[in-house]
């Protein structure tokens, strides 16, 4: 009798172990899912020497919110260079609602225009009817409007002097402006030339007058 009861207990125990061994993997396999948040950077500049690298941050004030690898104190920082699109990747392991904010934190410099828009991200993680962990990601701009993506547009406006130096016209103008102080010798030469010309004309007229007078005397 005792052997029969022991067999029954053993059968029940083995059945429970078999049941658990089948069920546990079904839950464990679906407790991790990935969220990818696309971020685009657009940079506009006609100056090839301008820096096109900018810094951004993903922030949250929830202590239990999942964060990307490399985060520190609920803050993830990354750089983007040129015109490029990137993805912020996070692993979600538990159901819940998580809130984030993405913004630009680049140190401002002269002649740059920075996109100061902020985006709010809500990640809703839940189990479906098949005990699979699913997520829904919603992105809103700073006006509370839902948007399809995150985009930052920066630009650089060049306002400095031409590195090639002053133009030929400016050099000529500068040269002429320097020589304007030496006009007095030039004016002296011009006055002397004019005086000589006047004297020459006077001598010619006087000579013609004498010839005319001599001709009249011979006629008489």
Question: Which is more confident, 206 or 150?
Answer: 150
Same domain, 102 and 199: no
Cβ–Cβ < 8 Å for 83, 43? yes
Distance of alpha carbon 161 from the chain centroid: 22
Largest CA distance in the chain: 190
The count of domains in the chain is 2
Same domain, 197 and 131: no
Q: How far is CA 170 from CA 159, 161, 164, 167, 177, in A?
A: 19, 14, 13, 5, 10
Same domain, 194 and 88: no
Does residue 175 lie in a domain region? Answer: yes
pLDDT of residue 75: 98
Cβ–Cβ < 8 Å for 64, 58? no
Q: What is the pTM of this model?
A: 0.60
Same domain, 123 and 182: no
**DSSP string for residues in 19-50:** HHHHHHHHHHTTS-EEEEEEEEEEEE-S-TTS
- Report the range of poorest mean pLDDT among 17-26, 33-42, 94-103, 182-191: 17-26
Residue 19 confidence class, pLDDT cut points 50, 70, 90: very low
Does residue 195 lie in a domain region? Answer: yes
Same domain, 44 and 119: yes
- Listed as own residue / partner, the contacts of 191-196 with beta carbons closer than 8 Å and 24 or more positions apart are none
Mean pLDDT of the 116-126 span = 98
Helix (H) or strand (E) holding 173: helix 168-179
Range of the domain at 147: 32-156
Residue 209: pLDDT above 70? yes
Mean pLDDT of the 189-211 span = 77
Phi first, then psi, for residue 106 (nearest 5°) are -65, 140
Does residue 38 lie in a domain region? Answer: yes
Same domain, 48 and 111: yes
Does residue 161 lie in a domain region? Answer: no
pLDDT of residue 27: 38
Same domain, 61 and 149: yes
Same domain, 99 and 208: no
Does residue 209 lie in a domain region? Answer: yes
- Report the range of poorest mean pLDDT among 45-49, 119-123, 169-173, 190-194: 169-173
- How many other CB atoms sit within 10 Å of the CB of residue 123? 20
Does residue 119 lie in a domain region? Answer: yes
Please write the tens of the pLDDT for every residue from 84-111: 999 999 999 999 999 999 999 999 999 9
Residue 186 confidence class, pLDDT cut points 50, 70, 90: confident
Q: Cα separation of 57 and 211, whole Å?
A: 107
Does residue 200 lie in a domain region? Answer: yes
pLDDT of residue 206: 76
Same domain, 42 and 106: yes
Same domain, 147 and 211: no
Does residue 27 lie in a domain region? Answer: no
Q: Report the C-alpha dihedral over residues 43, 150, 121, 69, rounded to 10 degrees.
A: -60
């Amino acid at each position: 009798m005792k052997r029969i009861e022991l067999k029954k207990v053993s059968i029940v125990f083995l059945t429970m172990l078999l049941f658990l061994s089948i069920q546990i993997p079904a839950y464990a396999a679906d407790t991790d899912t990935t969220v990818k948040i696309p971020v685009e950077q657009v940079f506009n500049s006609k100056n090839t020497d301008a820096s096109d690298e900018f810094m951004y941050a993903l922030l949250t004030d929830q202590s239990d919110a999942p964060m990307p690898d490399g985060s520190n104190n609920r803050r993830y920082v990354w750089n983007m260079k040129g015109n490029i699109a990137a993805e912020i990747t996070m692993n979600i392991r538990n159901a819940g609602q998580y809130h984030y904010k993405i913004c630009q934190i680049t140190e401002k410099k002269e002649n740059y225009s920075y996109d100061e828009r902020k985006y709010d991200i809500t990640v809703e993680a839940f189990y479906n009817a098949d005990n699979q962990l699913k997520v829904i990601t919603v992105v809103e701009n700073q006006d509370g409007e839902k948007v399809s993506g995150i985009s930052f547009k920066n630009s650089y406006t060049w306002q400095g002097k031409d590195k090639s130096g002053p133009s030929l016209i400016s050099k000529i103008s500068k040269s002429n402006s320097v020589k304007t102080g030496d006009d007095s010798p030039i004016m002296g030469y011009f006055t002397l030339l004019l005086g000589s010309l006047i004297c020459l004309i006077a001598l010619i007229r006087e000579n013609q007058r004498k010839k005319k007078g001599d001709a009249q005397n011979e006629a008489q």
